[in-house]
Amino acid sequence: MRNIKEESHNYFRAAGGPTTESADLICLSHLRWDFVYQRPQHLLSRFANERRVFFVEEPIFGDGPMHLDVTERDSGVRVVVPHLPKELTGADALDSVLQAMIDRLFTEHRIDAHLLWYYTPMACTWTRHLKPLAVIYDCMDELSAFKGASPVLKEREAELFKRADLVFTGGQSLYEAKRDQHEAVYAFPSSIDASHFAQARSIKTDPADQADIPHPRLGFFGVIDERMDIELLDRVAEARPDWHLVIIGPVVKIDPATLPQRANVHYLGGKTYAELPTYLSGWDVALLPFARNESTRFISPTKTPEYLAAGCPVVSTSIRDVVRPYGQQGLVHIADTPEDFILAAEAAMTSDHAERLREVDAFLSQTSWDHTWKRMTELIEDVISARQTFAAPRAPQPAVIKKTTTARAASASSVQSFVTGD
């Protein structure tokens, strides 16, 4: 077995350097940047137009040497991936290594003034020592309800609520669930890059892997996991063999063998964000076939406005943040049983196309990712401004200062002990 502590010591030797004057944004995420293009990518790509953004993913464990991989995407976002030896075990040891890694990231990239932006509360344990200008928790999902969630996730989220200056939620239902847990919670439901998806309305050619699929086509794109109502899809496909279901996206956390296997169900795999309008252009109906369970109780599917912007009629199960406002305003057909879902799809295919697009465009004109990002930025700036305005000079308090210094020294000693083997 390799000497992990010795490797850690060699990797984490300190390196000096000046700091930047601008406030960098450090995002701690449970999602992979290159997995699917969704809320984090929309928001952080916009932040990257004005400041440096470091998107720190969860570690990857393997046989290779310990290292921190930092690569820049076309958007300007720097994706940071810790690579750790698979034999590294124990929460305390892992936290110590990750804390040392984030410190090395700060040193090598000369990060000084910064914002901390969390998608995963689990990162709290190895970022407590950082001193950001502001802490933002963009709570896009109720992660504790997802399959495989850590048993301590709620505890970590409670800690993050205490540390956060601002909490953003990914939908109205999630806002209602979190608003009493923090004094500054703001609802930012899924938004839309309307012009990107509106391309689907004028595209006339099919992608090669969709071209031979007969019409009518009922399509879905997104992550295929425990949130999908597999039985509903199967029964719709069985009842209407003349309809063809097009399913786009990666399968995660569930056995692919459990998915409907019928001649009229077509799994096309994952597609890039740029490719999606071309596939949507060939659909007769777009689907939101979500199961109604704990994992979907608070979801606000980003694909709802994306489907609508593409010009597709939409049928969804009664997910609360789809019913409000899309179902209530008649923009999305809502149905839960296979029989009702089929009737809703039939109604969607025969709806007045021109009238529906007028209503959709009027609704979507009120929102955009640009607007969401701008409003978030204003709230962050308000926090920083208020902190600077009301931070009046005070006389030194030696007892408190000494205690803080001692605590910091103890923390530093703990990490140094781990990485040097002392």
Residue 414 has pLDDT above 50, yes or no: no
Residue 404 has pLDDT above 70, yes or no: no
List the end-to-end C-alpha distance of the chain, in Å, as a whole number.
19
Cα angle vertex 192, ends 188, 195, to 5°? 155
Residue 420 has pLDDT above 50, yes or no: no
In terms of Cα–Cα distance, which of 357, 34, 309 is closest to 190? 309
d(CA 335, CA 112): 52
148, two tokens: 């495989």
Q: Full-prediction pTM beyond 0.75? A: yes
Amino acid symbol at 333:
H
Considering the chain, what percentage of its residues have pLDDT values greater than 90?
78
Cα angle vertex 148, ends 144, 152, to 5°? 50
Q: What are phi and psi of 148, to 5 degrees?
A: 80, 10
Q: How many CB atoms lie within 10 A of CB 285?
A: 24
pLDDT tens per residue across span 124-171: 999 999 999 999 999 998 888 887 778 899 999 999 999 999 999 999
Cis peptide preceding 216, ω within 30 of 0: yes
213, two tokens: 């699929």
Q: How many CB atoms lie within 10 A of CB 362?
A: 11
What is the reported pLDDT for 415?
A: 33
Query: Quick one: pLDDT band at residue 405, thresholds 50, 70, 90?
Result: very low
4, two tokens: 């992990």
What is the reported pLDDT for 92?
A: 85
Residue 337 has pLDDT above 70, yes or no: yes
Q: Considering Cα of 319, then 371, then 131, then 181, what sign does the dihedral take?
A: negative
Please, what is the angle between helix 398-420 and helix 91-108, to 10°? 100
In terms of Cα–Cα distance, which of 365, 383, 332, 372 is closest to 39? 372
d(CA 83, CA 103): 15
Considering the chain, what percentage of its residues have pLDDT values greater than 70?
87
Query: Quick one: pLDDT band at residue 394, thresholds 50, 70, 90?
Result: low
**Of the candidate ranges 93-97, 203-207, 394-398, the one whose mean pLDDT is the lowest:** 394-398
Collect contacts of 155-159 with beta carbons under 8 A, ≥24 apart: 156/121, 156/122, 156/124, 156/125, 157/121, 159/121, 159/124
Instruction: Set out the domains of the chain in order of their start, with CATH numbers.
Output: 4-191+371-416 (3.40.50.2000), 194-367 (3.40.50.2000)
To the nearest whole number, what is the mean pLDDT of the chain? Answer: 88
DSSP-assigned beta bridge partners for residue 334: 316
pLDDT tens per residue across span 81-94: 999 998 887 788 89
Query: Quick one: pLDDT band at residue 348, thresholds 50, 70, 90?
Result: very high
Calculate mean pLDDT across residues 347-358. Answer: 94
pLDDT tens per residue across span 254-284: 999 999 999 999 999 999 999 999 999 999 9
Residue 397 has pLDDT above 80, yes or no: no
Calculate mean pLDDT across residues 218-223. Answer: 97
